[in-house]
């Protein structure tokens, strides 16, 4: 008898233990109360439709029909104008317009739709976490993190759970990549989620309605985070490329939502690392198309059509947007590149705070680079995409004398130097459909500019702008380019000058390039996402290095033919290089370069320059 009683007690204890474990693993689960709530009314689709109707009425109704007095009429009129402007600006990257529209959605749902503590759980099953999708849980996590970390929410979660580490997930686990998986999000939710307040739930719902109505779908909140950028449509197979013969299998694959389709193609760039958010889906190819057709519209850059298959533009928040569509691209694609102005500081660029790594002897480039600007050197900032070229240029601008007027030419507004230096003389122009870049350069020549900045020398024509600016238009030029080596840089600039017909002779074209260029600052991004200056190289035109001909006539003749048949217009001289996680002083700058730099600087800067050279290159000085 005692034996069977023991068995019964043991079974009861096991059941209690299992129940306790379940409750601990589902901390926000509460008993669902049966109510008479209209489930057809309280869902995202119905609520989004309600918001659309309300906004249409608010912006389209005739105020004269309401028999308002003058004060009320003006108030209603101003509110309508403000709402129209916010609805237009919110999907152009204006965060304040987005907040205005979201606040209005919140008020309409609370006051006009009857949201309360009970029906909020019918919109999304907050009280039954097992029914929440991974997107639901991710957006809840963003709301939880945003309460404390604001727009550092996503970076904070990535850092806290080390989500930016390489993983063996794709291609049967044989290939390393930066990827955040569904399993990781579910685990974080299990650990972080607690009982949500009613207001937290409302904020999640409001964001979902906003992003499906006026925002950018699943990337809407991600785009506002302090990351380097976000893109979509860049991986997976579009439906037109899926090779499924059986119609039933195709429908089943669409229902399951394969992780290898184009819908699961949300990518971010975070601290130089391109990461796949494989747990998120756009839901349909129509949704990707909708985002592509709306995200580039700021300042009306033209229409994205089959004939004009791509558009490069900027957004209200100063980020760059590139959109592509078929037939130019194999599917609808967008790239939104952000520029964090908080890193537009040379010291922070060389040793970024909170990045988890530091470099040795950063004082060397930190002291040397400012003198390149003070002495108005012409500088190429080179490196691959994402290596930090634009950020580096922004970080260096403050070292130019405030007396020098800056003139910038870009494909799309990216540097935003007026935001950093509002009291300096700065004019930025870009190409448009009606005004070519060459016309823009011609206008800039008549605007008293001293420093020319060319955002990116990506085309042959843009290279000619560098040569024009370096010869007749300004004291100096700084530009970005994408070559891997110094030799590649010179060859690329020379070949572009030849292609455009600016020069006919290859050697003369190369001579012209090296006579303009003083230094190449080459940036590098390693596989771990660390960004640093790989080298600072001086361009030494050989016209300053040629030795006199020998006095012996025969030897002089041989030397003459040697120089004519083996012409070299330049030598490259590495001044500072990156070795063993630190910066090393290599060769001193040439005497000719030193004299020219001293000639362009004030007496105070000359003394500091001489002192810096004697510290790091004591033998040469």
151-177 tens-digit pLDDT: 999 999 999 999 999 999 998 899 999
Q: Which residues contact 567 (CB under 8 A, 6 or more apart)?
A: 507
For 5-34, b where at least 16 C-beta lie within 10 A, e where not — what string?
A: eeeeeeeeeeeeeeeeeeeeeeeeeeeeee
Per-residue HEC secondary structure of 228-297 comes to CEEEECCCCECHHHCCCCCHHHHHHHHHHCCCCECCCCEEEEECCEEEEECCCCCCCHHHHHHHHHHHCC
The pLDDT value given to residue 240: 62
Helix (H, G, I), strand (E, B) or coil at 547: coil
Final residue belonging to a domain, choices 273, 306, 337: 337
The pLDDT value given to residue 535: 97
Picking from 310, 482, 463, 466, the residue whose alpha carbon sits closest to that of residue 387 is 482
Q: Is 371 found in the same domain as 298?
A: no
Per the listing, tokens 């997930």 go with 169
Structure tokens at 550: 């020998």
Q: Is 183 found in the same domain as 199?
A: yes
Helix (H, G, I), strand (E, B) or coil at 371: helix
For residue 551, being part of any structural domain is answered with no
The pLDDT value given to residue 220: 95
The pLDDT value given to residue 121: 93
β-strands 179-180, 570-579: how paired?
A: unpaired
In the structure, what pLDDT confidence band is assigned to residue 252 with cuts at 50, 70 and 90?
Answer: low
Q: Is 419 found in the same domain as 277?
A: no
The pLDDT value given to residue 370: 96
pLDDT at 517 over 60: yes
pLDDT at 489 over 90: yes
Among the listed ranges 54-58, 486-490, 567-571, which one has the minimum average pLDDT value? Answer: 567-571
The pLDDT value given to residue 120: 93
Q: Is 405 found in the same domain as 350?
A: yes
DSSP state of 471: I
Q: Is 294 found in the same domain as 187?
A: yes
Q: What angle (nearest 5°) sits at the alpha carbon of residue 572, between those of residues 375 and 602?
A: 10
Total count of domains within the chain: 2
The pLDDT value given to residue 318: 83
For residue 174, being part of any structural domain is answered with yes
More confident residue, 500 or 620: 500
What would the mean pLDDT of 178-182 be, rounded to a whole number?
95
The pLDDT value given to residue 70: 78
More confident residue, 360 or 471: 360
For residue 28, being part of any structural domain is answered with no
- Using an 8 Å Cβ cutoff, are 217 and 211 in contact? yes
Q: Is 581 found in the same domain as 464?
A: yes
Structure tokens at 591: 């005497």
More confident residue, 68 or 421: 421
Q: How many CB atoms lie within 10 A of CB 593?
A: 20
Per the listing, tokens 């001579």 go with 511
More confident residue, 219 or 249: 219
DSSP state of 176: E
CA 74 and chain centroid, separation? 42
Structure tokens at 38: 């209209």
Q: Is 226 found in the same domain as 197?
A: yes
Locate all alpha helices (DSSP H) within 112-197, ordered by sequence. Answer: 120-123, 134-149, 153-160, 170-173, 182-192
pLDDT at 530 over 80: yes
For residue 24, being part of any structural domain is answered with no
pLDDT at 203 over 80: yes
Q: Is 351 found in the same domain as 333?
A: no
Picking from 155, 576, 520, the residue whose alpha carbon sits closest to that of residue 363 is 576
What's the whole-number average pLDDT of the chain?
86
State the number of CA atoms in the 13 A half-sphere of 580 facing the CB. 3
Report the distance separating Cα 271 and Cα 386, nearest Å.
9
The pLDDT value given to residue 239: 65
The pLDDT value given to residue 352: 79
For residue 369, being part of any structural domain is answered with yes
Final residue belonging to a domain, choices 312, 337, 362: 337
State the number of CA atoms in the 13 A half-sphere of 286 facing the CB. 1
Q: Is 354 found in the same domain as 302?
A: no
Report the distance separating Cα 286 and Cα 212, nearest Å.
12
For residue 504, being part of any structural domain is answered with yes
Tens digit of pLDDT for each residue in 294-316? 999 998 888 999 999 999 888 98
In the structure, what pLDDT confidence band is assigned to residue 13 with cuts at 50, 70 and 90?
Answer: low
What would the mean pLDDT of 373-394 be, rounded to a whole number?
91
Q: What percent of the chain has pLDDT over 70?
A: 86
Q: Is 517 found in the same domain as 416?
A: yes
- Using an 8 Å Cβ cutoff, are 355 and 271 in contact? yes
Q: What is the DSSP string of 598-615?
A: HHHS-HHHHHHHHHHHHH
Handedness of CA 204, 210, 216, 222 (dihedral sign): negative
Q: What percent of the chain has pLDDT over 90?
A: 52
The pLDDT value given to residue 555: 76
In the structure, what pLDDT confidence band is assigned to residue 30 with cuts at 50, 70 and 90?
Answer: very low
For residue 88, being part of any structural domain is answered with yes
The pLDDT value given to residue 183: 95
The pLDDT value given to residue 33: 46
Q: Is 358 found in the same domain as 261?
A: no
For residue 396, being part of any structural domain is answered with yes
The pLDDT value given to residue 48: 95
The pLDDT value given to residue 368: 97
The CATH number of whichever domain residue 504 belongs to comes to 3.40.50.300
Q: Is 357 found in the same domain as 312?
A: no
Tens digit of pLDDT for each residue in 583-620? 999 999 999 999 999 999 999 999 999 999 999 998 75
Final residue belonging to a domain, choices 337, 359, 385: 337
Range of the domain at 177: 44-239+255-337
């Amino acid at each position: 008898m005692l034996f069977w009683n023991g068995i019964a007690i043991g079974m009861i204890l096991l059941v209690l233990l299992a129940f306790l474990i379940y409750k601990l693993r589902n901390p926000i689960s509460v008993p669902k109360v049966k109510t008479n709530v209209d489930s057809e009314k309280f869902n995202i689709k119905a609520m989004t439709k309600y918001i659309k109707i309300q906004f249409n009425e608010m912006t389209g109704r005739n105020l004269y029909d309401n028999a308002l007095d003058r004060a009320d009429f003006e108030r209603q009129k101003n509110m309508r104008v403000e709402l129209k402007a916010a609805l237009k600006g919110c999907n152009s990257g204006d965060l304040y317009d987005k907040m205005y529209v979201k606040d209005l959605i919140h008020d309409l749902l609370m006051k006009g739709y009857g949201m309360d503590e009970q029906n909020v759980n019918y919109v999304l099953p907050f009280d039954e976490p097992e029914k929440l999708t991974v997107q639901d849980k991710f957006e809840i996590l963003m709301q939880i993190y945003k309460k404390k970390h604001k727009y550092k929410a996503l970076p904070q979660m990535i850092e806290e759970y080390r989500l930016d580490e390489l993983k063996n997930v794709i291609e049967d686990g044989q290939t390393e990549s930066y990827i955040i998986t569904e399993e990781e999000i579910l685990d974080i939710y299990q650990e972080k989620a607690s009982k949500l307040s009613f207001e937290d739930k409302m904020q999640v719902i409001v964001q979902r309605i906003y992003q499906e109505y006026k925002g950018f779908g699943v990337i809407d909140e991600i785009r506002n985070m302090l990351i380097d950028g976000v893109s979509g449509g860049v991986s997976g197979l579009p439906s037109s490329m899926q090779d499924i013969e059986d119609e039933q299998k195709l429908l089943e694959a669409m229902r399951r939502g394969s992780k290898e389709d184009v819908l699961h193609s949300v990518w971010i760039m975070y601290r130089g690392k391109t990461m796949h958010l494989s747990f998120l889906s756009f839901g349909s190819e129509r949704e990707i198309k909708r985002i592509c057709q709306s995200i580039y519209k700021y300042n009306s850059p033209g229409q994205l059509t089959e004939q004009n298959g791509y558009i490069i533009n900027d957004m209200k928040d100063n980020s760059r947007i590139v959109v592509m569509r078929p037939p130019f691209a194999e599917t609808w694609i967008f790239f939104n590149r952000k520029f964090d102005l908080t890193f537009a500081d040379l010291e922070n660029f060389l040793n970024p705070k909170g990045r988890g790594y530091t470099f040795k002897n950063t004082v060397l480039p930190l002291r040397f680079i400012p003198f390149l600007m003070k002495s108005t050197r012409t500088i190429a900032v080179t490196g691959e995409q994402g290596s930090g070229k634009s950020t580096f240029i922004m970080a260096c601008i403050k070292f130019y004398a405030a007396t020098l007027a800056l003139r910038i030419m870009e494909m799309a507004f990216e540097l935003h130097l007026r935001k950093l230096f509002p009291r300096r003389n700065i004019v930025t122009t870009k190409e448009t459909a009606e005004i070519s870049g060459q016309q823009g350069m011609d206008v800039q020549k008549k605007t008293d500019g001293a420093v020319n900045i060319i955002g990116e020398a990506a085309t042959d024509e843009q290279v000619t702008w560098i040569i024009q600016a370096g010869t007749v238009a300004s004291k100096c030029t700084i530009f970005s380019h994408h070559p891997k080596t110094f030799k590649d840089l010179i060859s690329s600039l020379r070949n572009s000058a030849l292609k455009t017909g600016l020069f006919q002779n290859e050697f003369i074209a190369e001579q012209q390039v090296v006579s303009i260029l003083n230094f190449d600052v080459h940036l590098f991004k390693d596989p771990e996402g660390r960004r640093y200056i790989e080298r600072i190289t001086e361009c030494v035109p050989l016209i300053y290095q040629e030795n006199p001909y020998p006095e012996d006539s025969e030897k002089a003749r041989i030397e003459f033919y040697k120089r004519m048949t083996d012409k070299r217009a330049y030598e490259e001289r590495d001044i500072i290089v990156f070795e063993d996680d630190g910066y090393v002083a290599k060769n001193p700058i040439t005497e000719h370069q030193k004299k020219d730099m001293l000639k362009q600087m004030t007496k105070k800067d000359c003394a500091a320059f001489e002192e810096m050279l004697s510290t790091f290159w004591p033998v040469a000085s």
